[in-house]
A and B are shown apart, each in its own frame.
Chain A
Amino acid sequence: MFTAHRGRLTLIGAVAVGAVVALAGCASGDPLAEPSSSATDSTIVVGSQAYYSNEIIAEIYSQALEAGGFTVDRQFQIGQREVYLPDIEDGKIDVFPEYTGSLLQALDKAAVGGTSDATYTELQAALPDNLRVLDKAEASDQNSWTVTDAVASKYSLTDIASLTNVTEPITVGGNSELETRPYGPTALKEKYGIKIAGFVPVEDSGGPLTVKALVDGDIQLANIYTADPNIKTNSLVALTDPDGLFFPDNIVPVVSQKVDDSAAAILNKVSAALTADMLVDLNSQSFNDKLSADKIATAWLTQEKLV
């Protein structure tokens, strides 16, 4: 009796293992393979952050490259910088949309920043030898200190320094690293003499939770990216930064040596066309109209006559 069961067990076990293998096969090739090993030599691997706006740009790069005759392997939504940066440095990803100032600070903690061009030049020097950045776009998606319209008009706020006008306690919200960043609450206190009541971490990188907290009045000052369509939708005010407290964050493709001149020319054309307003519009199509990245990218490339 037990032997019979054992035979049955073996059979069912074999079927189960077979099913798992088949399943693994149909999902994404060999699930245990290292990323990008499936790509052949002529294929360009394009990556993107787990950030919808970054994915749209990566999709634009991908479609433009495909229109230029290249084969593209999309590895999108692969986490934050701490996850994907090692893979870029190892040359496992060939094209990645990045932001000049943020990438510079990740590569060099002592970076000085400055104007958009100075930051770009400093970034070129900070990159490892096997990587380079192509032309930067005018479009940028950078950190900002943002307040609600109501607070801005009540205390006539325009630039960061004017925050000293605020008489109520200011609670700051943003990703946890903000607390210790050179442009964080401490800098506001020391550089401008702004009184800061406290810091609340909201780990969605200035996303809807941060915006909600700002609108609800749980926080008064938030770090929100300038290309965020929420600024427009919720009538928020991004305070101007005449002193260059934040590093400029122009969009720039980081590429490996596999990207040749013809591929680089295609990406440079895309960057030349990408303005700041367009980026906000692209984001808004994703955020407000809920369109998928590939549809947004195709429409934009057609409109700009890049494909």
Chain B
Amino acid sequence: MTWIWSNMDLIWDRTLDHLVLSVPSIILSFVIALPFGWLAHRYRASRAVILTTVGLLYAIPSLPLFIVLPFIVGTSIRSPLNLIIALTLYGVALMVRVVADGLGSVDRDVQQSATGVGFSGWTVFWQVELPLAGPVLLAGLRVVAVSTVSLATVGAVIGAQSLGSLFTDGIQRGIQEEIIAGIVATVLLALVLDAALVLFGRLLMPWTRRSAIGVAARNSAVVAGVTT
């Protein structure tokens, strides 16, 4: 414990580094997944192809991806951009299916009513489908957030400072407190981001609070949906 108390500033710095790597990746994953998920939802023929291809991104081992990416994208090997791009890819791999399922969860009757009262195609998407799919998207985004935070630690291996640096350094110096601090801080950060997303969801979608049970049930379906 003494190591942790005397190195609080180091842990804090690494936590900030970790946030800088993971938060943009989480946001980008969501933004990029939207059009692909929409395509998969809208055109059934494309669905299997898009979802399987995107899903397989998750099978790319992270270490080689981190090493090769700078050569492919043309960034400097130590640029934090590499890590952000890689983490975004993994996030997209999880999120596209959620978007497709989320949009698919919107009742057709509701869509048709919206069209019936004069909403155009775009407005139906932005003002009806997307808000109604919101809880599902949020549930998926929470999984993406937690996984991204966990995965960002691998960046330590390629010289991108993060909470992962605490356990690479701790291992070398045989300081178990440092390794444990790195793991615990990663988990805590993931939980904080997760809680922030839940709060964010409540602000954006106040109507979901009224049917908490329904949301809980559907969130769980999405978690599995992510996984299917």
Contacts and interface: CB of A to CB of B under 8 A. Distances in A.
A50 B168 contact: yes
A6 to B, nearest CB: 6
28 contacts: A3-B127, A5-B131, A5-B204, A5-B205, A6-B126, A8-B203, A12-B203, A20-B24, A24-B20, A26-B16, A27-B17, A27-B19, A28-B17, A31-B20, A31-B21, A31-B24, A31-B80, A32-B79, A34-B75, A35-B76, A77-B159, A205-B172, A207-B172, A208-B174, A290-B3, A290-B175, A292-B7, A292-B10
B81 interface: yes
Interface stretch (A81-89, A119-127, A133-141, A154-162): A81-89
Contacts of B159: 50, 77-79, 83-84
Contacts of B29: none
B24 A12 contact: no
A16 interface: yes
A30 to B, nearest CB: 10
Contacts of B127: 2-3, 5-6
Interface in A65-109: 77-79, 82-84, 86-87, 92
B115 to A, nearest CB: 14
A286 interface: yes
Contacts of A272: none
Given A28-B17, A78-B78, A287-B173, 10 more contacts: A2-B131, A5-B204, A12-B203, A20-B27, A23-B16, A26-B16, A27-B17, A27-B20, A52-B172, A87-B78
Contacts of B75: 34
On chain B, which size bracket covers the interface? 35 or more
A87 B76 CA distance: 8
B32 interface: no
B80 A50 contact: no
A35 B204 contact: no
Contacts of A86: 76-77
Contact of A8 (B156, B165, B204): B204
Q: What does DSSP make chain B's interface, helix, strand, loop or mixed?
A: helix
A87 B79 CA distance: 11
Interface string B83-94: 010000000000
A20 to B, nearest CB: 5
B80 to A, nearest CB: 5
Contacts of A9: 204
B48 to A, nearest CB: 32
Contacts of A34: 75-76, 79
Interface in A1-46: 2-3, 5-6, 8-9, 12, 16, 20, 23-24, 26-28, 31-32, 34-35
- Central interface residue in A8, A12, A32, A87, by most chain B CB within 10 Å: A32
A50 B173 CA distance: 11
Contacts, number: 107
Contacts of A6: 126-127
A209 interface: yes
Nearest to B177: A290
Contacts of A77: 156, 159, 161, 165, 168-169
Nearest to A211: B174
Nearest to A291: B6
A87 B75 CA distance: 12
B157 interface: yes
A204 interface: yes
Contacts of A290: 2-3, 173, 175
A192 interface: no
Contact of A16 (B84, B156, B200): B200
A83 B172 contact: no
Given A27-B19, A82-B67, A292-B10, A286 B173 contact: yes
